[in-house]
Structure 1
């Protein structure tokens, strides 16, 4: 789903749906909206992620598919409509390049014997 993809891009990991579902199922008196709020983003501190972004992802990952936003609602969401830094694509590219180079490790040259 698009919500899973956005979560992966923003947080660098897949959403922990199994924790959310098990945490929420303990209280059967909660509405599905209350269940959704109880588990989302509580396991870790994501201080660098804007609240509007977290809210959008939470909405996109709602356990009830009928309550998830349409593509038009996603595109008009305040976080999606906000202006990004002009050099953001370049920043993302440079960070990904750095991570890719780091993951490849140092280049080891073979010594002739």
Structure 2
């Protein structure tokens, strides 16, 4: 199943494909939460809030090497500081990559 969600504000979210009955139609945020929680439960993953996907998305983009500025724009933040402070979680992969890059830099410049 592929999902695309766009918040329209005031508790209404636009869904581009989660099921036949809501494809391309506005859906109430409470209905979205019920559908999302049902999917999470069926999938067997730990319970999470729908908003947690936003944090995960931002973190995975950064882990993939996307710049903080690009992530800021994608999330629609007015400030890069907000994006970095709230959404940029440093993963072990990112820590290892930073150590590797620093080591390579030191070898090249010593």
Q: TM-score, normalised by structure 2?
A: 0.27
Q: Give the number of the structure whose alpha-carbon radius of gyration is greater.
A: 1
Between the two structures, name the one with larger relative contact order (CA 8 Å, sep ≥ 6): 1
Q: TM-score, normalised by structure 1?
A: 0.26
Judging by fraction of residues, say which structure has more strand: 2
